[in-house]
Structure 1
């Protein structure tokens, strides 16, 4: 990666490409839904002989091909979004380094990326030269890592264009692309070995870039030397926060597949409650009824054992999605629109159709922890049942709804009012 190559890189073109691929993915999913609504389902209902069954299977095969393609294309969108963000941030870092050089009266050889003193000779021991050189190398590093990750993942997705298995397309190909996108954001953050470099890098970014980074990787930033203290406080929820949002996110990311925390058959809400507990949310219990009270939230430190022990050791709101949602909303919780969601919020799934055989329409049946929001607004969630780490809400919701029916998503900002 050279300075000239970075200057020539155009994130606007990458954004346009991402938009085109996203449109194609949405069209493919619309076709899937149309085939089911206007083909497969009517055939099952009205054409029940072998000919109808054969026609239904053929249409189902076509729907699966389109579904696999839609999910792979969504993976392409993720990588292009990550590349665009990487280019933009690297160019901001580069421009800041070049501005800094001019302010110090230094010159930069853009062919070799060498910084020279006012006399024209390289002065590697000069503090100003070192500072400018560190920023230049950081800009080139950011751009190179984004380019490397994006090119490798795009080649992998291009090689899978004939994949027709929707499960592999979603749970392997798109999932890997999703994780690569997040790695591109994390990889664009300095290591922290030089706090002065981190401070200069942060200062070079725009307010919007600050916001994007705080949403996409709060854990790294909150623990990075050189990031302003007020930013770190904000990441954790602010000076008057009732719990540490970063600790909640970090615990969820580290324990998404930890079966030692399992107590119930379905542990999605148990997991979300434990993440909040690890973040510092205080228990609420009844002095007479303990955890059995209807207006309690929490669990005993030695919780476990058989069914009776569980009923004594856990509140109703601890592991039941509907009960937890209702409790948090009664006690200070606020539902926020998707555009305002932050890491550390909780997402609840409400059944919004009569399609699902397990839950009736209007029932809140699933809970997950919001652990990131990417620059394009894609909400990432981490859950324990059907374990997912930083999974893409936008990339997975269509498949989820195809299986379970239409969902209402409730994003809740927990704000305990009992302490």
Structure 2
């Protein structure tokens, strides 16, 4: 058993060797042994290719502003492992994580010796979260972010009050399928009988899959642009403004503190979710809670400006859709700047299309790598690009950042983007460097 935080974390990380193992059999086995903690908590399930974390954050902030105690389960972590299991935005303590690891380890050991095979890291953490919210720290509701896909994701053992599918994109195609329809089928796997669904999905073919699944499950479907809308969109200096309209009425001049047109869509899904909860599940949520919650919502690494002078921004654009959203904001907000982009990614991504988009907006594109099993090498990245543009490799990204930041003037901007795993490593270094220099 574990006596220290380091021992517990090291054990959890050893489960990474098992990779990704879609299926719910191991989760069902563990939850049976834990006396089904997932049945003791109220949940909201959030899936989609992009926007899951931001939507969870917007909705959590609204609910918290309304006075509710809100649990969240998110992935990957950004600054601290513990934040994957949080209450009102505060990560669980080291002592609580040790206790959870000691609860789950005997079950994992037993599964290791069984025909089902051992649980993955994500399955272990998911089981920990159910036990935590049911038995250690009860909350009013828990927002569960899907890890991968939906249908066979380890979170898909809950029967939530509400399901949200934010978007569909061509990510994790080796596992989820090559087409929007195939990926939508996996994402729609979180839809449960009689449980309302909110979605911001744009592609007609993907939406049709979700619509059919909702119909088959007799679930009400609320679609952004058809059943609710965000209009009168206006970029603010450090956020966005929009008007929200639904069957429940209209709210003018809502403001967010998160930058990006795509964040308006995520915020709109969260607002619609809050209205469904208020009107059908007796949650006491008023317009003032929505307004304040959207402004207070903060999600690290999403078009986050770390420094104004010099201008340094980080963004976890880790797939093709995310890169396109980043490029759109660069063109809309920073077209007058000389843009340098430092990029690192995982090798299982569609690197060529991501890099092609970055080539269009970067005056200088720098490729690097980081210490992670699935990280692409800097050479892989530069080889995946075209021959055009100013591109090079930074073998040591920390050394590059130090030198580059010192060179920036008023006309320049540095953007650090790519894998969230990379940003979770790079951001603490950047914050410390910017503070001390």
TM > 0.5 between the two? no
Category of TM-score, reference length = shorter chain: under 0.3
Structure number, greater radius of gyration: 1
Structure with a larger share of its residues in strand: 2
- Give TM-score, length-normalised by structure 1: 0.25
Looking at both structures, which has the greater relative contact order when contacts are Cα pairs under 8 Å and sequence separation is at least 6?
2
- Give TM-score, length-normalised by structure 2: 0.24
Structure with a larger share of its residues in helix: 1
